[in-house]
Amino acid sequence: MKVAIQGIKGSYHHRVALEFFGKEIDILECLSFDDLADLTHEGKCDYAIMAIENSIAGSIIPNYSLIDDNDLHIIGEYFININHNLMVYPGVDFNKIINISSHPMALLQCKDFLKKTDKIIVEDRDTAQVAKRIRDKNIKDTAAIAGLEAAEMYGLEVIKTNIQTIKDNETRFVVISKSKSKSISNNPDKASLKFILSHRNGSLANILNILASHDLNLTKIQSIPIIETPWKYSFFIDTTFSNYKKYKEALKKVSSQSEMVKEFGVYNNFKS
């Protein structure tokens, strides 16, 4: 099985791939979410792992558009606690460090820690990639922010642990595929949808009432501007349910009240 991840081995995406699918998989590394979406759309992997939202930093809005624009399907989800750590080339003193580098999302989640340092903050494409570069090139003036897996894989020394601002720092990842037929869900109880509404008064309220009347629980709603039409929005929602038949009935009614409805996936709600 080929599973694509954003970042390289040792990244948080790599950890999710291993925990979700097990160790007997081939990992395809992508250094951007755009590359990840392209690879999946082209059918060069069976599945891909994509971060979609964080409990501190919020939704990764461009990734919703990538799933939509590439007609990808969500077939599962996975949550992990993100514990950021500061790591350096073995033996390097923190006072000798000039730069601290990591993915922009990781830097944002460690904002309070970084505000207390006099180091230069450098954004990079991946947490684990910074760690690997430090070791490969014997870089001794830069510290990386990454997970413990990266430190172990690339032989770096962890000098500060759990430096994220909020200790309960959780990220939700979705498992995506080009083909809906690759779904691995049994008795699905969660769905991800997109809909576009007219400008009629109460149109969004009507949709929410339909969901509630069919015993669907709205767990996420995200509005995203429709670029071609100023001040018009599409809505991305996640909803859980206990009765699949009621979900399909609700979807039919939502479709009748919307200009457009798109189902990204029906899958198993992750329970930690």
Return the pLDDT at 271: 62
Return the pLDDT at 114: 97
Residue 271: inside a domain, yes or no? Answer: no
> Which CATH number goes with the domain that contains 239?
3.30.70.260
Taking the CA atoms of residue 188, residue 190, residue 196 and residue 201 in that order, the dihedral angle to the nearest 10 degrees is 130
Give ∠ CA 18-267-244 in degrees, rounded to 5: 160
Percent helix, strand and coil across the chain, each rounded to 5?
30, 35, 35
Tens digits of per-residue pLDDT, 13-61?
A: 999 999 999 999 999 999 899 999 999 999 999 999 999 999 888 899 9
d(CA 125, CA 271): 30
Are both 216 and 230 inside the same structural domain?
yes
Are both 109 and 45 inside the same structural domain?
no
Return the pLDDT at 117: 95
Residue 184: inside a domain, yes or no? Answer: no
> Which CATH number goes with the domain that contains 75?
3.40.190.10
Set 173, 236, 241, 264: catalytic member: 173
Low-confidence ranges of the chain (pLDDT < 50): 272
Residue 42: inside a domain, yes or no? Answer: yes
Are both 95 and 137 inside the same structural domain?
yes
Residue 269: inside a domain, yes or no? Answer: no
Tens digits of per-residue pLDDT, 165-182?
A: 998 989 999 999 998 877
Are both 125 and 153 inside the same structural domain?
yes
Q: Say if residues 25 and 1 touch (Cβ distance below 8 Å).
A: yes
Return the pLDDT at 219: 94
Residue 165 a catalytic site member? no
C-alpha closest to that of 84 among 56, 42, 118, 47: 56
Give ∠ CA 114-116-121 in degrees, rounded to 5: 35
**Full residue range of the structural domain in which residue 120 is found:** 85-160
Residue 90: inside a domain, yes or no? Answer: yes
Residue 171 a catalytic site member? yes
Integer angstrom CA distances of residue 7 from 92, 124, 268: 25, 11, 25
For residue 215, the one-letter residue type is D
C-alpha closest to that of 212 among 250, 176, 261, 178: 250
Are both 26 and 145 inside the same structural domain?
no
In the 8-state DSSP scheme, what is residue 7? Answer: B
For all residues of the chain together, what is the average pLDDT? 94
Are both 97 and 73 inside the same structural domain?
no
Tell me whether residue 262 is exposed, middle or buried, using C-beta atoms within 10 angstroms of its C-beta: 0 to 12, 13 to 18, 19 or more: middle
Residue 230: inside a domain, yes or no? Answer: yes
Domain tally, the chain: 3
Q: How many residues does the chain have?
A: 272
In the 8-state DSSP scheme, what is residue 57? Answer: T
Set 127, 142, 171, 239: catalytic member: 171
Residue 129: inside a domain, yes or no? Answer: yes
